[in-house]
Amino acid sequence: MIFVTGGTGLVGSHILLELSQKREQFKALKRDSSSLTICENIFKHYNAEDLFEKIYWVVGDVNDIPSLESGMLNCEQVLHCAAVVSFQPTDAELLKKVNIEGTANVMNVALTSGVKKVGFVSSIAALGRNSTEGIVNEECHFKATKLDSNYALSKYYAEQEVWRACQEGLNVVIVNPSVILGPGDWNKGSSQIFQKIHSGLKFYTAGSTGYVDVVDVANSLVTLLFSDVKNERFIVNGANLKYRDCFDRIAVTLNKPKATIKVTPLLKEIAWRMESVRSYILGNKALLTRETANSAMTNSSFSTAKIKEFINFNFTEIDATIKKYADWFIKDLK
């Protein structure tokens, strides 16, 4: 039996689908207030409504120890996907509470519940990309810089909780996905890239990063969980692209104009400050923050040699990924 946290999110929903299609037995944690819409829509898209109806949901929270103990009862494996993804300065405490303390709770309960192996979804943000020259791999050590976000710090410290549990006897595997492309809430997270470009994105930056299909993230973690691999971390990244290149490809697929205005360092500083004022006046969260503005100007590339060596993993071609989710986005608009 497998216990899954974060099953209502983008990555977690695809992991539940993967496990369901493999006819694996699992239980999925959900908060009482969580919506099942994303998860249900993903199952429907793959004509797996019957499998969705069979999901055994455990109501609880990563900061609710009794619900974790109940959820992990009779489970030998855990897939920990629950996390808050935010680059809002006001969410710093929430990131600490869920990503760091929540992960510590999951690891502690796993250690005392007889769990044999845990798979954890981390992030490239925890790899020290801002303090590394050249291509980033799994051996890069995190060193906090002024460019690192509260989210990056929370994922780094969450990883430390996983490694601490490893030292205490728990077998673990970690995946570090790059920017995840997939069909979640088109107005939130990385999925909103499609929404922004469809609405007419005019600006581009000189930075670069990695992109990966959410299906690859789910498949790689499940494959590693069932493998003999233990106590290792793996970058999962489908392609290293300039932001402009990725946005242009999406724009072409959506039949929308490409971004034409290059963001200079001065324009970047003006833009995030103006957005901060706008969000304060309107009382909503800023679409652009200092953290995301700085990240968009940074160039990072990531190696996937390790996961290809350990489990011979092949990633979905980036243009196929973009077309798949662009078509999905257009379908959802109708």
pLDDT of residue 131: 66
- Of 111-115, 158-162, 263-267, the poorest mean pLDDT is in 263-267
C-alpha closest to that of 26 among 65, 61, 76: 76
- In this prediction, residues 24-47 reach a mean pLDDT of 93
pLDDT of residue 80: 97
Determine contact, residues 243/193, Cβ cutoff 8 Å: no
Q: How confident is the model at residue 293 (pLDDT cuts 50, 70, 90)?
A: confident
Q: Is the pLDDT of residue 57 over 90?
A: yes
pLDDT of residue 47: 93
Average pLDDT, the chain: 91
Distances (CA, A) of 262 to 273, 277, 288, 293, 296: 18, 22, 16, 13, 12
Own/partner long-range contacts of 56-60 (Cβ < 8 Å, ≥24 apart): 56/26, 56/27, 56/28, 57/7, 57/27, 57/28, 57/29, 57/30, 58/3, 58/27, 58/28, 58/29, 58/30, 59/30, 59/31, 59/32, 60/29, 60/30, 60/31
The terminus-to-terminus CA distance of the chain in angstroms comes to: 39
pLDDT in tens, 192-237: 889 889 988 888 888 899 999 999 999 999 999 999 999 999 999 9
Q: 64 Cβ partners below 8 Å, 6+ apart?
A: none
Buried b / exposed e across 175-197, counting CB within 10 Å, b at 16+?
Answer: bbbbbbbbbbebeebbbbbbbeb
Distance CA 142, CA 322 (A): 30
The strand pair at 179-181 and 117-121 is best described as: unpaired
Tell me the HSE value of 262 on the side-chain side, using a 13 A CA sphere.
6
**What's the token pair of residue 128?**
């020290």
pLDDT in tens, 62-73: 999 999 999 999
Distance CA 260, CA 251 (A): 12
pLDDT of residue 286: 65
Determine contact, residues 45/328, Cβ cutoff 8 Å: yes
Q: Which of the pair, 211 or 184, is modelled with greater confidence?
A: 211
Q: Which of the pair, 133 or 74, is modelled with greater confidence?
A: 74
DSSP 8-state assignment for residue 101: I
Q: How confident is the model at residue 261 (pLDDT cuts 50, 70, 90)?
A: confident
Q: 153 Cβ partners below 8 Å, 6+ apart?
A: 95, 144
Q: Identify the burial level of 313 via C-beta atoms within 10 angstroms of its C-beta, where 0-12 means exposed, 13-18 middle and 19 or more buried.
A: middle
Distance CA 31, CA 59 (A): 5
Q: Angle 100-72-151 (CA atoms, 0-180°, nearest 5)?
A: 15
Q: Is the pLDDT of residue 287 over 70?
A: no
- In this prediction, residues 246-255 reach a mean pLDDT of 94
Domains of the chain and CATH, by start: 2-180+211-237+302-317 (3.40.50.720)
Q: 264 Cβ partners below 8 Å, 6+ apart?
A: none
Q: How confident is the model at residue 111 (pLDDT cuts 50, 70, 90)?
A: very high
pLDDT of residue 264: 80
pLDDT of residue 51: 96
Q: How confident is the model at residue 285 (pLDDT cuts 50, 70, 90)?
A: low
pLDDT of residue 240: 96
Q: 203 Cβ partners below 8 Å, 6+ apart?
A: 259, 261, 262, 263, 271
pLDDT of residue 200: 86
Helical axes 318-333 vs 192-199, angle rounded to 10° = 70
Determine contact, residues 109/172, Cβ cutoff 8 Å: no
Distances (CA, A) of 149 to 128, 143, 293: 11, 12, 11
pLDDT in tens, 127-152: 977 666 789 999 988 887 777 788 99
Determine contact, residues 15/44, Cβ cutoff 8 Å: no
